[in-house]
Amino acid sequence: MGTIESGTKLIHAWADIVFKNFAINKTMSNVRQRRPIHTPQDDQIEDEDERRSRDSGFWTHAAFVGLLSALILTPVILIIIPSPIDPVSYSFKPRPELVGPLEPNSHLQKSEHIYEGQVLGPESIVVEGEHIYTGTLDGKILHIYKGQVQVLAKFGKEPCGGFDNEPTCGRPLGMRLDKNGYLYVIDTYLGLYQVNVATGDFVLLWPTTAEINGRASKFLNDLTIASDGMIYMTDSSAKWDRRHNRYCIFEGEATGRLISYDPITNTTKELASGLAFANGVQISRNEEYLLICETTWARIFKYHLKGPKKGTMEVFMDNLPGLPDNIRLSSAGGYWIGIATLRSKGYEFMANKPWLRKLVAKIISQETIIKLVPKYGLILEISSEGEIIRSLHDPTATKVPSVSEVEDKDGVLYLGSYFLPHMSRLYLGRLKT
């Protein structure tokens, strides 16, 4: 606060000098323009052209001083005002060309919007038979059955809606059904919940305030469940919460981690750390490893659960064409990755220039940064070996501007979004390959 107050005082002091200078110059201008000898007619009549010239000179001078002040003050203010982020330097490999399995197409434009206006920000989606479950921006867990949307549960408290209310209202993110039919939901602010889908009753299993390896969970994000009931979760950042997720990416900090939760012993463990925005997580079909999306650096990690590499983590896929969000199983045997946004030249240009990102964050708000992020609809289907099988695009971003998650049920894709007021549904069988 001291730095900001000092900057404010400096601005006020400079403003006083500027306006006093205006006043002095106007007074001097009046003195210089007086005539040495006055007649009665001169006292009563002022030359209109001379008055206009004098006023014009004053305002020209005022404009010049104001412009000069702005030029001097702007760098001073930029130095004095602290940046909201403390960026780190990192680098990308050259972006992969959109050729081969990445060649642009219009497949996502063939999707249909469903439950328009009834689901706001369906980040994660679970489909079981005719039942659909999702969480929304206003803290609700929704149950959709035969087209009817109902509130199944709500963990937080009113009021909801808006930036300030989100931590107390709650924001459901990742969700899964276990083999017993219970819905497990991560509320990024409140913790890990178990929900009875028949009654809507819920239990808080692990609060975000409970410390794991010496720290609470700032940004719980996604989860996956093993057949023995073990739950694996991602905590995206130790510094930023969901509301500031753009700062988390823009800063480039790597404090994300992978956590396990044992429902039998009600204990947690930090399995891996040092991830730059740990996001979606998916256990493999043989349950030998986990795949974790690292959003900031556009890659996917593999964490080994079994075998000689048990407890170690390695890069599974690098240099993705966009920033990955959630990852889920595909009906073809691989995985689907939702892409939040396509990588851009501007984003990569600033990667190894932390000073520039620090400066930009002083000038441009997070809300403006969000608006400047280019929209491009993209999902990737990858093999269990980490090869891209195919990609589905909406280059115009008119139908699908961004995808948080892909839920694949027998070749029908349900596309999630962290901000849109609907889900999207795409029938793969209708696409021409």
The predicted-structure confidence for 370-405, as pLDDT tens digits, reads as follows 888 889 999 999 999 999 999 999 999 999 999 999
Distance, CA of 310 to CA of 289 (rounded, Å): 9
Domain regions of the chain by residue span: 2-80, 100-430
Q: What integer best gives the mean pLDDT of the chain?
A: 88
Whether the CB-CB separation of 269 and 285 falls below 8 Å is answered with no
The predicted-structure confidence for 227-247, as pLDDT tens digits, reads as follows 999 999 999 999 999 999 999
Distance, CA of 423 to CA of 128 (rounded, Å): 16
Distance, CA of 11 to CA of 7 (rounded, Å): 6
Arithmetic mean of pLDDT, 334-356: 94
The predicted pLDDT at position 74 comes to 63
Among 29-43, 48-62, 133-147, 156-170, the range scoring the smallest mean pLDDT is: 29-43
Cβ density class 308-347: b for 16+ within 10 Å, e for less: eeeeebeebbeebbbbbbbbbbbeeebbbbbbbbbbeeeb
With a cut of 60, say whether residue 7 has pLDDT above it.
no
The predicted pLDDT at position 62 comes to 56
With a cut of 90, say whether residue 316 has pLDDT above it.
yes
Arithmetic mean of pLDDT, 302-319: 98
The predicted pLDDT at position 368 comes to 86
Highest mean pLDDT among 20-24, 29-33, 265-269: 265-269
The predicted pLDDT at position 60 comes to 62
Q: What is the pTM of this model?
A: 0.84
Among 32-36, 124-128, 322-326, the range scoring the smallest mean pLDDT is: 32-36
Among 23-37, 134-148, 221-235, 401-415, the range scoring the smallest mean pLDDT is: 23-37
The predicted pLDDT at position 81 comes to 84
Fold designation for 100-430? Neuraminidase (2.120.10)
Q: Percentage of the chain surpassing pLDDT 70?
A: 82
The predicted-structure confidence for 176-194, as pLDDT tens digits, reads as follows 999 999 999 999 999 999 9
Residue 96 Cα distances to 92, 296, 344, angstroms: 11, 16, 12
Q: Percentage of the chain surpassing pLDDT 90?
A: 75
With a cut of 80, say whether residue 59 has pLDDT above it.
no
Distance, CA of 71 to CA of 55 (rounded, Å): 24
pLDDT band at 70 (very low <50, low <70, confident <90, very high): low
22: enclosing H helix or E strand: helix 2-33
The predicted pLDDT at position 2 comes to 46
Q: Provide the strand spans (E) within 121-277.
A: 125-128, 131-135, 140-145, 148-154, 172-177, 183-187, 191-195, 202-207, 220-225, 231-235, 256-262, 267-275
Q: What is the DSSP string of 320-381?
A: -SEEEEEEEE-TTSSEEEEEEEE--HHHHHTTT-HHHHHHHHHHS-HHHHHHHSPP-EEEEE
Arithmetic mean of pLDDT, 142-168: 97
